[in-house]
């Protein structure tokens, strides 16, 4: 179980958030509904989707490393 108040918990949450928003960007209905705003509170979803799609290789490697860390080291 990963604690949300530790550094590794925040990293897991951040990676999952970026990956989920990047997935939302690929689904047309979700893109129009959730990622239409580029500023404000809803703009965080748009910015995470942009990070996930532009840095997809780095995000994928970070997800694999974090999964290895959570499953085997922690």
Which pLDDT value is given to residue 28?
86
Split at pLDDT 50, 70, 90, the class of 2 is: low
Residue 19, number of CB atoms within 10 A of its CB: 18
What would the pLDDT profile of 26-73 be if each residue is shown by its tens digit? 888 877 887 788 888 888 988 999 999 999 999 999 999 999 998 998
Q: Residue 11: which residues within 8 A CB-CB, separation 6 or more?
A: 66
What would the pLDDT profile of 13-24 be if each residue is shown by its tens digit? 999 999 999 998
Q: Residue 45: which residues within 8 A CB-CB, separation 6 or more?
A: 21, 24, 34, 35, 37
Which pLDDT value is given to residue 15?
93
Which pLDDT value is given to residue 62?
92
Distance CA 52, CA 61 (A): 12
Which pLDDT value is given to residue 54?
92
């Amino acid at each position: 179980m990963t604690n949300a108040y530790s550094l590794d918990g925040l990293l897991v949450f951040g990676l999952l958030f970026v990956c989920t928003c990047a997935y939302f960007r690929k689904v047309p209905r979700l893109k129009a509904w959730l990622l239409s705003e580029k500023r404000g509170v809803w703009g965080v979803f748009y910015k995470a989707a942009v990070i996930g799609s532009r840095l997809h290789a780095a995000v994928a490697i970070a997800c694999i490393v974090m999964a290895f860390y959570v499953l085997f080291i922690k």
